[in-house]
Structure formats: C-alpha cells, structure tokens
Structure 1
C-alpha cells in the first residue's frame, strides 16, 4: 500500500477529496474521445481498425456522403451518458466521480450468523474471567482479534456509529502511516485500506471485519467482539491497533476525538489527515505515561 511519509510529523502528500473518499482520474475522460482528433475533424484512416472496414467506409462515402459525416460527428461527441435506473444504488456511480451515500439511506446489511447454540450455552455458564478466557480461546487458532466489552460501552459505540458511520484511522507502517477506512453496518464494522478503496470503491476487500454480538447482553451485561483480519495485509498487532483506535473514538468520551468524527462526516472538505496522526501520537504518548 502507498504510505503517507512524514517529515517532522507533517504530511508531504496532497490530500484527497474526502467528501467522496476517492481520487479523481483526470485522464479517464480521454477513453471516451475518438482515437484521432485533429482540429475537430476526425481522421478515420488513423483508426487502427480502418483497414478492416475500409471497403465498407468507401461504399458508404459513395452512396451517402452525408451519412458518414453524421456518423463521424456522433463519434466525436462520444457515447451519451446513460441515466441510472431509479432503483440503482448510489454506490454504483461512475468511478471517475462517485457520489457519497445520503445520510438517510443506509447500505444493505446482512445480520451476522448467530453463535452456535452449544457455544452460547457454554459461555453463559462461565464467570466473567472464565468468559473472557473462553472467548479468547475460541479465536486462538484464527487470524483474529477479540474482546469482551461491557454492554454500556458497546451501546455508546453503536449510538455514535449511527451518527458517524464512516471514519479514517492512521496505521503506523515502517516509513510512515497508512490510512484505513472504516464503515459501520449494523453490528459490524468493516475496515479497508484507503488506497484500495480509492481504486476499487465498494469492491475493495476489507483488511479487518469486526462483529459485535449482543446475545449475552441482557443476562451478563457484556458484548462479545470478534474480528478476522487478512494476514496478507495486517499482522495481529496492527489489527489490535485499529480496534483500540475504534474503541477510543467511538466508545470514549474525549472531546477532541468527537470533533474529528464530526468533522470527517459533516465537513469532509475541511478535514485534515495530519490531525489524525497528531491525535494518534498524543494518545500513544498518554498511554505510555
């Protein structure tokens, strides 16, 4: 993944337009232009397929010279832009300038598969410390992170996620920081490297997918969190780093972090990447004291 290199803790790269979270591709429009454009007159003979259809073009020129002029003019104008159907999802907009989802419209959500009944029964009969240990053991042989959260903490995370469903987390790398985009959908949170999202949009595979399970909430007052990560993209320490940041921003009470969530979701054009890095390093320094 491309890294955002730092020099004296400031970014040297240009920020992307966070209102759409995708870079524009200035050369993409050239794909719609005719293969040759000389002062507004298209020279068909320079088209690489000209020789294949040359005899048909000559016949058309002799039979109806005005028709070939009309066809050339239509080719120069490029294909019309089709109007999306009324039921089309906003996320399927043109890749050159995608539009963000309206706040009132949530993406489709599939509820995660519930825990196995036998596993749930076993967890119910354990003490708090045994429950935490058993939950960790269930994930010990996977590329996963897990935690047992107080229900009150998850309620705060869930409420804040409804208000600020999308955010960006800095992930320390060897030569700088990589940004990871997070998006909440129901009781799940999917995290995707920003570089991959900029290239593939909704088709980009997540590097970490978190699920919050509330089955034990009413009787035990806890929420079970688990998340599987892609080992080709993240290590266990990096996955845990992202989870820790998510809990600080969505489950904590620091005003600065709340303001950054608000800024990113409400005023994306004024959002500054370097503020995330400063806040990350400030939190890191505070944890070490």
Structure 2
C-alpha cells in the first residue's frame, strides 16, 4: 500500500515541468502562468476554466498536490484499482480514467457464427467491420498480447508523445485489466483521476483459442484524429509488447523511480521508431 502511495505522489511530482505550482483562486480566469504557458493550454482552456469556476478550491488543491486521502480509503488501497486511490468525485466532463463503460464482445460480434471460421477469416471480418466505424482496430497474436498484459500489470502508467504542429503533446496511458485508457497530460494535471478519456483501447480475449486477441479503440474526435489514435496504439504495442530493454527500462523507471525518468527520452525514442 505504501509503495503505491509513494509511486502515485512521485508520478505527480515528476511532471511538474508544466504543472501550476501556485494559483490565485479569483478571478476564475486566472489559471496560473505555468499552466497557461503549456502549448496545449488553449486547446483545453474552456474545460479547465469551467472546472476552476465551478470548483475553485478543489482546482487549487489539485494543482498544488494537496488533496488528502481519507483514512477509511487508505484501508482499502490493497483491493482497489490504481486509478481509484484518491477517491475521485463525480466527473462532469464525461467518462474518466477510473470509469468503464465497455461493450462485451458478443454485443459486437456474433461469436456462434465465427466458431467454424479460421483465424484469417475472423481477422478479415473484424477489420472490415471496423473500417466502417470511427475508430481503430487490430488482431493481435496471443503471444504478443500475453506480453502486453504482463507488462501492463507491472507498469500500469506510462506517457506517450504525439507529434503536433507545436512540437509534441504528451498523453497519459493507464492500463487496467484488458483496457488501456488515454488522456492528454494537461487534462490529467487539471483533473487528475477524473480526467476525461480521449482514447480507450479494449482487448477481447474470448477467441484466444484461435490464437488471436481482438482490439478496438474509440477516440474523442475533438482531441484526436484516427492517425493520432493509431500512433498512440502503435507506441503502446511497441513499449508493452516487445522485449526491448531500453523501452522496458523506461516503463520500469516511470512506475518505480519516476524522479529519474526523462520525458525527452520518449521523444528521442519515437523519432527512431518505424511503425
């Protein structure tokens, strides 16, 4: 329990390179120079200012990292998911990192109709279906997914850079069971565990006996386009699903020694990747 708490607080401190360290509660438009200087502030400024106006004290507390955990919540940390450690309140901005609202595979695909299909046929059906949808999809070999799931349990948090006109925007990724949720880092800095999800990737394991795991991802068009969502999905697979010592070391460092983590290493790694 104490290890989880230390990891959580260290993670928040690590990314203070563009987090507000001090803030004036009024007027409501004063969100602090540090946060305003973030190149993606204007993109999310309306939501951030709205939250600040509705909950000025809570907003100030979150940015200063001073929100406390109730003693009764601490007693339950061992059985809670990592995302719920801080007992988040109701989120007015849509589904957040701590929430799940996911379709079961049998609500997407009639499993009884693919029982006699080959792996390749199921792959073609899955990909053809999702070409008509606003999202991303993949069929993943079981051995690759087993590696991804193992690393997801060990390293539930990571950040990925996404190329933008202004440089790079960072996205926080949280892995819970067979789901990976993404939110812009600046949103996480303002809303923490209540940050609205911009991309959810769900991995369905019902057809593992056929050697594959099916993935589909839904994204918020106001934050990402299909190309950006696919770029994040590709990075996720390359970090979590490959025996690459350098990338695995970065996963381990961020989760267990966050003060030693260097976010610029992510950009350097992305620039040498081939998707």
- Which stretch has the larger CA shift, 125-134 or 231-240? 125-134
Q: Is the 8 A contact 1:151 1:223 kept in 2?
A: yes
- 1:108 offset after TM fit, Å? 6.7
* Structure with max Cα Rg: 1
1:90 aligns with 85
- 1:18 offset after TM fit, Å? 2.3
Q: Is the 8 A contact 1:109 1:186 kept in 2?
A: no
Q: State the alpha-carbon separation in 1 of the partners of residues 260 and 102 from structure 2.
A: 35
1:17 aligns with 13
* Structure 1 unaligned regions, length at least 5: 1-15, 32-80, 95-106
Distance 1:30 1:235, change over 3 A: closer
Distance 1:224 1:267, change over 3 A: same
Runs of at least 4 residues off by over 6 Å? 19-22
* Structure 2 unaligned regions, length at least 5: 1-11, 28-66, 75-83, 90-96
- 1:238 offset after TM fit, Å? 0.8
Query: TM-score, structure 2 length as denominator?
Result: 0.67
Q: State the alpha-carbon separation in 2 of the partners of residues 182 and 127 from structure 1.
A: 33
Distance 1:174 1:133, change over 3 A: same
- Which stretch has the larger CA shift, 117-126 or 251-260? 117-126
Among residues 159, 162, 165, which one is paired with 1:171 in the alignment?
A: 162
Among residues 233, 252, 274, which one is paired with 2:264 in the alignment?
A: 274
Q: State the alpha-carbon separation in 2 of the partners of residues 20 and 93 from structure 1.
A: 21
Distance 1:109 1:233, change over 3 A: closer
Distance 1:230 1:110, change over 3 A: closer
- 1:24 offset after TM fit, Å? 4.5
2:33 aligns with none
1:138 aligns with 2:136: no
Q: Is the 8 A contact 2:119 2:211 kept in 1?
A: no
Q: Is the 8 A contact 1:144 1:229 kept in 2?
A: yes
- 1:130 offset after TM fit, Å? 2.0
Q: Is the 8 A contact 2:98 2:194 kept in 1?
A: no
Q: State the alpha-carbon separation in 2 of the partners of residues 123 and 231 from structure 1.
A: 32
1:189 aligns with 2:180: yes
1:207 aligns with 2:198: yes
Q: State the alpha-carbon separation in 1 of the partners of residues 269 and 248 from structure 2.
A: 12
- 1:17 offset after TM fit, Å? 2.7
- Which stretch has the larger CA shift, 109-118 or 250-259? 109-118
Alignment of 1:209-224 (within 5 A): 209-218=200-209, 220-224=210-214
2:23 aligns with 27
